[in-house]
Chains A and B, each alone.
Chain A
């Protein structure tokens, strides 16, 4: 690949490509990610749709929050079980809301740690009001565009400080 063909404008995600320089020598160039530079909006649309479909199933009681995060984070049952240190059978049961309800708080904390979310988020779905619409906090938080709400860890592993901003007029 020629150096001139490697240039992508994407300051948010920089990568190193090995390219042919003008003098014929091959070497590294720092540039932007092709996919993020061109198709990030498409990724976000799919992410929003996936989150929405999972959230609806959670709220209907079809799946638990374990399944919600497992699918969102592209983990298999085996991988999640290995990460939380439980058997696959047990994790499989926790995908179902009925069995999830019997899980200990300590177990929920294990799941929350793997998903890198506060343990309280294993029992709640946070939505933010944006004009007439509601938007998922999970997706907004990923984009670091949250306004008005902040979840801060405390020294107590089971308690999060939730800071809610002033209502805007």
Chain B
């Protein structure tokens, strides 16, 4: 039986949370919003038709894995990473790392995390947990979405690490390898902000960034024609609330976490203008939350006629407008 001493803490998001928790436990004092901001976590993408999704959906953060990669590029923190073709080798490596007392993050299919209530669990291959112990039948797991350390059946973790499908984890593992003594936070923060602005404004793809929010606004009108029935439409409309509030965003589709990052950054790099941006971003997040609560209410009341869809669409157009303005101003200020 192995139990690595590990300070578990809930976090808003699984990837930024597991990275932060690994770094904190390795002795680096860094917050989740700082990890999120430096790694340009904030984003938007709308997917109207994709092979992997049975219904249109959207994302509010950058591509899974990018947070870790960007943190390495910008703050010099190196992680040891592993992927496996053979599940047995993947299992052995995780156990070996635990035997060496190395808390190790694993990419998994969220569906098999059976300590999470069933209504939350969906097949999504990009959940991150930190494994901190092992006995004959269970792993000991630190999951940002759960208040305390939990046991997970070895069989469940092995299945979750090697689930197939879109963004299959392939047994992916990582742990910190090198943490610089003096991180140049100023450089890392500025780079993180610039890239966030670029991602929101300048990617020449019509469904990404602010353009993606506008596309979502246009396409949500079509959602009723794509649903099986009213209950299905209600479910999908209410899922907007899950994606913006519950699915590890820290609320308001990560906008509250980004506001917190800007506030912390203002103090760290002595850039008071960032405080104003931080306040504006908090207000933008409030607008997203208002939108998501409205969607939940419409869904619950089955109030899903064309007028309501139009109302949601207008709210989204408004979000696109304010974010366009915000990121344009931020880009000019930080340049």
**Which A residues fall within an 8 A CB radius of B?**
1, 6, 12-20, 25-28, 30, 33-36, 38-40, 42-44, 46-47, 49-50, 73-76, 78-80, 82-85, 113-114, 116, 142-144
B204 on interface, CB distance cutoff 8 Å: no
- Check A79 against B263 for contact (C-beta < 8 Å): no
Count how many pairs of residues, one from A and one from B, have CB atoms less than 8 Å apart in the complex. 136
The proximity string for B residues 281-307 relative to A, scoring 1 for CB distances below 8 Å and 0 otherwise, is 010011001000100100110000000
Determine the residue in chain B with the shortest Cβ distance to A73. B123
Q: Closest Cβ of chain B: how far from A131's Cβ, in Å? A: 24
- Contacts of B278 on A, CB cut-off 8 Å? 26
**Which B residues fall within an 8 A CB radius of A?**
10-12, 17, 32-33, 51-54, 111-112, 117-120, 122-123, 144-147, 159, 163-166, 168, 231-232, 234-235, 238, 241-242, 245-246, 248, 250-252, 256-257, 259-260, 263-264, 278, 282, 285-286, 289, 293, 296, 299-300
- Check A26 against B263 for contact (C-beta < 8 Å): yes
Determine the residue in chain A with the shortest Cβ distance to B245. A34
Determine the residue in chain A with the shortest Cβ distance to B54. A76
- Check B111 against A1 for contact (C-beta < 8 Å): no
Q: Closest Cβ of chain A: how far from B310's Cβ, in Å? A: 23
- Check B246 against A34 for contact (C-beta < 8 Å): yes
Given known contacts A1-B289, A26-B260, what 17 new A-B pairs fall within 8 Å (CB)? A14-B10, A15-B245, A16-B144, A18-B250, A20-B282, A27-B260, A28-B32, A34-B293, A36-B246, A42-B234, A73-B111, A74-B123, A83-B163, A84-B164, A113-B159, A114-B164, A142-B119
Contact of A30 (CB < 8 Å), options: B32, B147, B299, B300:
B147
- Check B123 against A35 for contact (C-beta < 8 Å): no
Q: Closest Cβ of chain B: how far from A76's Cβ, in Å? A: 5
Contact of A16 (CB < 8 Å), options: B12, B118, B282, B299:
B12
Q: Closest Cβ of chain A: how far from B24's Cβ, in Å? A: 13
Q: Closest Cβ of chain B: how far from A43's Cβ, in Å? A: 6
- Check A76 against B51 for contact (C-beta < 8 Å): yes
- Contacts of B166 on A, CB cut-off 8 Å? 79, 82
Q: Closest Cβ of chain A: how far from B201's Cβ, in Å? A: 23
Q: Closest Cβ of chain A: how far from B8's Cβ, in Å? A: 13
Q: How far apart are the CA atoms of A119 and B78 in the complex, in Å?
A: 43
- Check B256 against A19 for contact (C-beta < 8 Å): yes
Q: How far apart are the CA atoms of A1 and B300 in the complex, in Å?
A: 23
- Check B165 against A18 for contact (C-beta < 8 Å): no
Determine the residue in chain A with the shortest Cβ distance to B254. A18
- Check A18 against B300 for contact (C-beta < 8 Å): no
Determine the residue in chain A with the shortest Cβ distance to B114. A116
- Contacts of B235 on A, CB cut-off 8 Å? 43, 46
- Contacts of A144 on B, CB cut-off 8 Å? 118
- Contacts of B52 on A, CB cut-off 8 Å? 76, 78-79
Q: Closest Cβ of chain A: how far from B319's Cβ, in Å? A: 15
- Contacts of B289 on A, CB cut-off 8 Å? 1
Q: How far apart are the CA atoms of A16 and B21 in the complex, in Å?
A: 14
Please list 25 pairs of residues, one from A and one from B, whose beta carbons are closer than 8 Å in the complex, sorted by A's number: A1-B286, A13-B117, A13-B120, A13-B246, A15-B145, A15-B248, A17-B12, A17-B251, A18-B257, A18-B260, A26-B259, A26-B260, A34-B245, A36-B119, A39-B300, A44-B119, A49-B231, A73-B111, A73-B123, A74-B54, A78-B51, A79-B165, A82-B166, A83-B165, A116-B111
Contact of B11 (CB < 8 Å), options: A16, A50, A113:
A16
Q: Closest Cβ of chain B: how far from A40's Cβ, in Å? A: 7
Determine the residue in chain B with the shortest Cβ distance to A49. B231
- Check A28 against B165 for contact (C-beta < 8 Å): no
